[in-house]
Amino acid sequence: EETDWAKRQVDRFVGGPRSTRGWLEEIARERPEVIFYPEVGMDPATCTLATLRLAPLQVAGWGHPVTTGLPNMDLYVSGELLEAADAEAHYREQLVRLPGTGVCTELNVPQVQPWDAPARPADVVRFALCQQPIKFDPEDDRLLARIAKATGPSEFWLASPSRQAWASERLRARLAAAFRAEGLDPDAHLRVTPWMRPGPFQDYLDQMDVYLDCPAFSGYTTAWQAIHRGLPIVTLEGQFQRQRLAAGLLRQIRIPDGVAATRDQYLDLAVRAGHEARDPAQRRARREAIAGAAPHADGNRDAIVAFEQALIGALASRR
């Protein structure tokens, strides 16, 4: 559906899988003045093309939130709320800080469908761990176990990618060891659910109490969906952009009280949010406040205008 939308917005659309040579021939025919890579780092074809000088101006976005490291990538487009004061030193490219989080999103809520989950035991707090397994740094395993120990009866829900179930199995085994080291029974706390389509994922977010962002590699899209369901987020704002996505989002909606500066503060915020969720009135009030503020994350047209001006200015300087 998103591809169909994109086709309607442009003068010419070329898609489908192609060899590297096929893409190079297509680009040679088009002779673009600007090439914008929304991400460089996840797709092999994109990574290959990005190593080459194919246009006077070449730009990377933060679909993969780290510098490309490439000498022929000219600009890196980010958001002012996603970067530390000294962030220019983190990029080989020229850093462009767009207003807010640097993106303009529109909410299109899918129809909520039931998430197939077991009944919740009384007094249990449910923590959502929504990120891909690769984002969980072993250094943070004990932090999650400490949250469980301080919270009491609780469940930590991991989502298992359909194509990489082995990664979730290894992550759970790793977390289990950390929980046992804290004197906890992993089977009492750790849960794994299959990867979900949008409808059931909305219900999953509704049934969770606290969203725990990965300290080593933050999430944006899942956090964006979570705030629109009113789910409280706890995140640790680190030095690099990849550690600041959810924090920037919370700052944009003007509810930054879930942003921690240290691991100990992250622990305290998570435990406090868990205890708060046990009180139905506090839980309802908190979720209503977050859902009410969530629209501030959307419709950031200032970022679009700033992006246009950055491209026009950079291209003019190269001419």
Q: With 80 as the cut, is the pLDDT of residue 281 above it?
A: yes
Q: For the chain, what is the radius of gyration of the CA atoms?
A: 21
Q: What is the pLDDT of residues 237-246, one digit of tens each?
A: 999 999 999 9
Q: Record the pTM.
A: 0.94
Q: What is the pLDDT of residues 146-178, one digit of tens each?
A: 999 999 999 999 999 988 889 999 999 999 999
Please tell me the predicted confidence (pLDDT) of residue 118: 85
Q: In angstroms, what CA-CA distances link 206 with 210, 217, 259, 298?
A: 10, 23, 21, 20
Q: Helix and strand tally (H, E) in the chain?
A: 11, 10
Q: Supply the mean pLDDT for the chain.
A: 96
Beta strand segments in the chain, E: 34-37, 57-60, 75-79, 94-98, 125-129, 154-160, 190-194, 210-212, 233-236, 259-260
Q: What is the pLDDT of residues 10-43, one digit of tens each?
A: 999 998 889 999 999 999 999 999 999 999 998 8
The CB density around residue 135, as the number of other CB atoms within 10 Å, is 18
| Phi-psi domain of 33 (left: phi exceeds 0; alpha: psi -120 through 50; beta: other) | alpha
Q: With 90 as the cut, is the pLDDT of residue 109 above it?
A: no
The CB density around residue 178, as the number of other CB atoms within 10 Å, is 19
Residue 157, strand partner residues? 128, 191
Q: With 90 as the cut, is the pLDDT of residue 188 above it?
A: yes
As a whole number of angstroms, the distance between CA 156 and CA 148 comes to: 8
Of the pLDDT bands very low, low, confident and very high (cuts 50, 70, 90), residue 306 is: very high
Please tell me the predicted confidence (pLDDT) of residue 305: 98
Triad 273, 277, 282: Cα angle to 5°: 100
Please tell me the predicted confidence (pLDDT) of residue 189: 97
If you average pLDDT over residues 253-258, what whole number do you get? 97
Tell me phi and psi for residue 299, to 5 degrees.
70, 30
Please tell me the predicted confidence (pLDDT) of residue 164: 85
Q: What is the pLDDT of residues 132-152, one digit of tens each?
A: 999 999 999 999 999 999 999
Q: With 80 as the cut, is the pLDDT of residue 319 above it?
A: no
Of the pLDDT bands very low, low, confident and very high (cuts 50, 70, 90), residue 55 is: very high
